[in-house]
């Protein structure tokens, strides 16, 4: 790992950043589960709904890759979501052999509500931050995400 651009003696800051990101990730995951407890979906179903909401219709294989799950596990997940009228399977218009998973209105409603509640939670946390701190945090997180891709 290249740490040449860090001032001498500050290399341990990377350890601090990693630890804080890990803790933040855990808190976000826990808060997300608390919010989801008010809905009839599981955390993996929420993740699937998010991918479909953000990227549009996709095959089971594509969704499996994004979620790092076996196709059989994703198929079971989609079966349950289809029974709950969150998604539907539709034949691809260009190739009838291909079946795509399509997000239904109820799935969109849940995603919108849950994301809104997560954003309200984050707004509450950020109340003690100045607008400059919020802008710096936002731009730093965007840059970190871009570098990780």
Q: What is the DSSP string of 19-72?
A: HHHHHHHHHHHHHHHHHHTTTT--HHHHHHHHHHHHH-SB-HHHHHHHHT--HH
Q: What's the pLDDT tens digit per position in 44-93?
A: 999 999 999 999 999 999 999 999 999 999 999 999 999 999 999 999 88
Predicted local confidence at residue 125, as pLDDT: 96
Residue 139 lies in a domain: yes
Structure confidence at residue 5 as a pLDDT band (50, 70, 90): low
- The percent of residues in the chain predicted with pLDDT above 70, rounded, is 94
Q: What's the pLDDT tens digit per position in 46-55?
A: 999 999 999 9
Residue 9 lies in a domain: no
Token representation of residue 86: 């969150």
Residue 93 lies in a domain: yes
Structure confidence at residue 103 as a pLDDT band (50, 70, 90): very high
Residue 29 lies in a domain: no
Domain of 127, in residue numbers: 41-148
Residue 81 lies in a domain: yes
Q: What's the pLDDT tens digit per position in 35-44?
A: 999 999 999 9
What is the C-alpha separation between 98 and 108, in angstroms, rounded?
A: 23
What is the C-alpha separation between 30 and 75, in angstroms, rounded?
A: 26
Domain CATH number, residue 130: 1.10.10.10
What is the C-alpha separation between 84 and 47, in angstroms, rounded?
A: 16
pTM of the predicted model as reported, rounded to 2 decimal places: 0.82
Predicted local confidence at residue 1, as pLDDT: 47
CB 3 within 8 A of CB 11: yes
The domain total for the chain is: 1
Residue 94 lies in a domain: yes
Predicted local confidence at residue 82, as pLDDT: 97
What is the C-alpha separation between 120 and 122, in angstroms, rounded?
A: 5
Whole-number mean pLDDT of the chain? 93
Residue 137 lies in a domain: yes
Q: Is beta strand 99-103 parallel, antiparallel or unpaired with respect to 87-91?
A: antiparallel
Residue 45 lies in a domain: yes
């Amino acid at each position: 790992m290249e740490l040449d651009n860090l001032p001498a003696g500050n290399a341990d800051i990377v350890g601090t950043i990693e630890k804080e990101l890990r803790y933040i990730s855990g808190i976000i995951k826990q808060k997300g589960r608390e919010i989801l407890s008010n809905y009839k979906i599981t955390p993996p179903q929420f993740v699937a709904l998010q991918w479909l909401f953000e990227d549009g219709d996709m095959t089971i294989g594509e969704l499996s890759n994004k979620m790092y799950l076996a196709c059989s596990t994703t198929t079971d997940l989609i079966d349950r979501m289809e029974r709950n009228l969150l998604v539907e399977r539709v034949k691809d218009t260009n190739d009838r052999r291909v079946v795509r998973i399509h997000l239904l209105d109820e799935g969109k409603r849940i995603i919108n509500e849950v994301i809104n509640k997560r954003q309200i939670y984050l707004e509450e946390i950020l109340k003690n931050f100045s607008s400059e701190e919020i802008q710096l945090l936002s731009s730093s997180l965007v840059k970190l995400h871009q570098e990780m891709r």
